[in-house]
Amino acid sequence: MFFDLVRRNSKRSRKENGIYFVSLIVSIVAFYIILSLGNQDVMIYLKTMESDAVNRLLALIPILYAVSLFFVFFLVFFANRYQLERRSHEFGVYLMLGMKRSRLFSLLFMENLWSSFLALLIGLPISIILSEIISLLTSRLVGLGIIGHRFTFSISAMLWTIVGFLGLQIIALLILSRKLVRKELLDLLEDKQEDKQHTDNISISLVQLIIGIISLTIAYVLGIKYLRTFNLIIVCLIFVSGIVGTFLVFRGMNALICLTIRKNSTKRSGLYTFTFRQLQENVLNRAGSLAISSLLILAALICFGYGVSIAMNANPSKGHAVDFTVQGQEKEIKEALNSAEIKPYVSNLFPMKLGFLRGEQDGVETNQDMVSHKFNWGGLEEAVKEQKFSEEQDMLLNMLDFHSSPYLISVSSYNQILNIKGEQPIKLRPNEVAIYRNSEFTAGNNILQNVLKNAPDVRIDNQSYRLLPNIYSDNLVADRSITISTGLIVPDDVFDKVIDQKHQPFCWNFALPKELVEKEGLMQPMHEVQMLLKDKGLEFESYLKSMGRQLFYIVAASYTTIYLAVLFLIIANTVIGLQFLMQQKKTSRRYATLSVLGSLPCDMCQSARKQIAWYFALPIGVAIVSSFFGIKAMLGGLLPSAYESNSKSLLIMAIVMVGFLFIIECIYMISVMKISDKHIEALNK
């Protein structure tokens, strides 16, 4: 009998509160996927190359999990409170009939346990399948090949998911039951309507609104101007003024709605006044949780924006040209690479000639036999100085100053790189040079690009060389054997004249044949060549390493941020949706009165739909405005280079983000609207 009641009650709760149940399942799936991150093919593979970084990330996951549990607790607590409030009359009847409070508590406890059990039963298989699909998809996307895939199932992830999830439920229920136990029986039996006093006194709200907007503006300005300083006080100020501002704006919104109603109520017919009075009541009574929901949506948008921008900027193919760089004696290298087993993997083998232009002040004393050269940035530096003062200009001038004698790259070597990429070679006349900047160093490139249009000159040994209008930025080696932030691409004869030939070529580069890559992908053959080169005892590096590192950043950033974004979004939306439905249930008598006064069911549904749309739109709107400034501040402060170089991809990111948000919100709004329609139709029967 008792278990029958438990089963029936929990079934009814799930039915009436489907959104919450689905959200629970989604959070279970998210929990498992993040906890089983270490079992993903990509991660297992990366562990072989970047074990330190991977281990550090995996060590961070428990913290991430704890943080997300904290936020999901908010959802569980709220949804359970809604359930209990809705059923308080029923509990009152149980107690009246002589049920002991401890028995009532165990009834509630068992109901929750049963629902949680079902959520786990549905959620866990989905999460296992989904994490397999993600694993397969990512490994395919990065070219790992799926042959090596094996089915993984993380018992520890599953156990932690279950423990965390059940723990949340129990703690939330314990806290709520304490409240329930303290209530008078009469309070339980009375199905109270919304009990807050209504007033049309808007002066306080108006003040709150104005202070809120000012406080938010302060947060925005501080964020954009000073976040990059990473001053703890400023970061705290941004957070405090942002959060306080959001809360006050929602408190003050009452004034806006009230003024709208006053202005329009006698002009508009239909349920206009009713619709907005309902909205006003909801916003007034729930300003706090609306503000929290709005902040959660903001956090989700920022997480999502951050993850996507990192993923997009860490594009592994950027600047990638050569696949292997080998260092050593020319004879040994050629012998090894021409051997029967390696030869099929080698194409475009060329010597990379680059060297440091030894200036007058550099190391002359220690190496007496070296010839020193004169260099200055000549016309380029002057042209940059003539530009309008800006932070960028300052950085660029510092950089030029720092590289008072730059690296030189021979144009024939650089043209080989362009050749591999299938791009047009650089044609340098005897008195021309081109500027090289690594793709990771882009500060000041906008000014540089501008200045280069007028073909300024640089001077090597008192000879003037005009700069080409383009900036070249392809990687000179496969990974990291040398990273040149800024250099000059010079004609071969100039290079031979001014660079000490003793150490040339710096290294040998080659790429994998295109046909092979097309047939077998990049990863697999690269792996094989690595083994072969290791056997030959050559000193080499491959693009694989660089790719692995990039891949790690992409996977780590996108997984964690998108995980948090999804959690924040479902929590915020479920809370907003439940709150609306809660108010609708509490005020269902008003709908009955409207019906008696001759309002058609379709009109009432329309009014409720309008309320829902507004009720969702308010927190989302505030979050979108804040996220615009938030993302701008974050990209300007945390990822300045990405911000400058990639305005187009930022735009794409913004579109993707808005689209993503739009879809999620539509799903939630439509399902809340459907429940509300059903509710109103039931009232009219």
Partner 1 sequence: MSIYSKILEVQDLKKVYGRDENKTIALKGITFDVLSGEFLGIMGASGSGKTTLLNCITTIIKPTSGKILLNGENLSSFRGKKLADYRGNRIGYLFQDFELLDNLTGRENILLPLSIHGMNVEESVDKLFAIAKYLEIEEVLNKFPAQMSGGQKQRIAAARALISNPDMILADEPTGALDTKSAKILMDKLKGLNQDEKTTILMVTHDPNAASYCSRILFIQDGVIFHELRKQINEETQQSFYDRILTVMAQLGGGSANVL
Site of interaction with partner 1 (CB under 8 A)? 193-194, 197-200, 265-274, 277-278, 280-281, 587, 589-590, 593-600, 603
Q: How far is the CB of 84 from partner 1 (least distance, A)?
A: 24
Q: How far is the CB of 593 from partner 1 (least distance, A)?
A: 5
Please identify, using beta-carbon distances, which residue of 281 and 474 lies nearer to partner 1: 281
Nearest alpha carbon to residue 618 among 294, 242, 280, 247: 294
Q: How far is the CB of 618 from partner 1 (least distance, A)?
A: 17
Please identify, using beta-carbon distances, which residue of 602 and 663 lies nearer to partner 1: 602
Angle between helices 101-141 and 88-96 (to 10 degrees): 150
Q: Are 465 and 457 in contact (CB under 8 A)?
A: yes
Please identify, using beta-carbon distances, which residue of 6 and 271 lies nearer to partner 1: 271
Q: How far is the CB of 619 from partner 1 (least distance, A)?
A: 20
Q: Are 192 and 586 in contact (CB under 8 A)?
A: yes
Q: Are 654 and 559 in contact (CB under 8 A)?
A: no
Q: How far is the CB of 194 from partner 1 (least distance, A)?
A: 7
Q: Round to whole Å and give the CA distance between 171 and 169.
A: 6
What are φ and ψ of residue 468, in 5° steps? -75, 155
Please identify, using beta-carbon distances, which residue of 206 and 624 lies nearer to partner 1: 206
Q: How far is the CB of 271 from partner 1 (least distance, A)?
A: 7
Q: How far is the CB of 281 from partner 1 (least distance, A)?
A: 5
Please identify, using beta-carbon distances, which residue of 286 and 403 lies nearer to partner 1: 286
- DSSP assignment of 463-504 equals EEEEEEEEEE---SSSSSS---SEEEEE-HHHHHHHS-GGG-
Please identify, using beta-carbon distances, which residue of 429 and 589 lies nearer to partner 1: 589
Q: Round to whole Å and give the CA distance between 586 and 431.
A: 83
Q: Is 108 helix (H, G, I), strand (E, B) or coil?
A: helix
Q: How far is the CB of 218 from partner 1 (least distance, A)?
A: 34
Using H for helix, E for strand and C for coil, what is the string for 43-92? HHHHHHHCHHHHHHHHHHHHHHHHHHHHHHHHHHHHHHHHHHHHCHHHHH
Please identify, using beta-carbon distances, which residue of 266 and 647 lies nearer to partner 1: 266
Please identify, using beta-carbon distances, which residue of 362 and 603 lies nearer to partner 1: 603
Q: How far is the CB of 200 from partner 1 (least distance, A)?
A: 7
Please identify, using beta-carbon distances, which residue of 274 and 616 lies nearer to partner 1: 274
Using H for helix, E for strand and C for coil, what is the string for 542-564? EHHHHHHHHHHHHHHHHHHHHHH
The structure tokens listed for 517 are 């890559």
The structure tokens listed for 200 are 């049309």
Please identify, using beta-carbon distances, which residue of 277 and 437 lies nearer to partner 1: 277
Q: How far is the CB of 302 from partner 1 (least distance, A)?
A: 35
Q: How far is the CB of 89 from partner 1 (least distance, A)?
A: 18
Asked if residue 62 has a cis previous peptide bond (ω within 30° of 0), the answer is: no
Q: How far is the CB of 117 from partner 1 (least distance, A)?
A: 39
Q: Round to whole Å and give the CA distance between 417 and 606.
A: 64
Please identify, using beta-carbon distances, which residue of 68 and 579 lies nearer to partner 1: 579
Please identify, using beta-carbon distances, which residue of 280 and 509 lies nearer to partner 1: 280
What are φ and ψ of residue 233, in 5° steps? -65, -40
Please identify, using beta-carbon distances, which residue of 497 and 590 lies nearer to partner 1: 590
Q: How far is the CB of 274 from partner 1 (least distance, A)?
A: 7
**CB within 8 Å of 127: residues ≥ 6 apart:** 28, 29, 30, 31, 32, 33, 161
Find the radius of gyration of the CA atoms of the chain.
33
Nearest alpha carbon to residue 307 among 29, 556, 131: 556
Please identify, using beta-carbon distances, which residue of 438 and 595 lies nearer to partner 1: 595
Q: Round to whole Å and give the CA distance between 685 and 588.
A: 13
Q: How far is the CB of 597 from partner 1 (least distance, A)?
A: 4
**CB within 8 Å of 80: residues ≥ 6 apart:** 112, 169, 172, 173, 176
Q: Are 69 and 62 in contact (CB under 8 A)?
A: no
E strand or H helix at 352, and its extent?
strand 347-352
Q: Are 143 and 50 in contact (CB under 8 A)?
A: no
- DSSP assignment of 197-231 equals PP----HHHHHHHHHHHHHHHHHHHHHHHHGGGT-
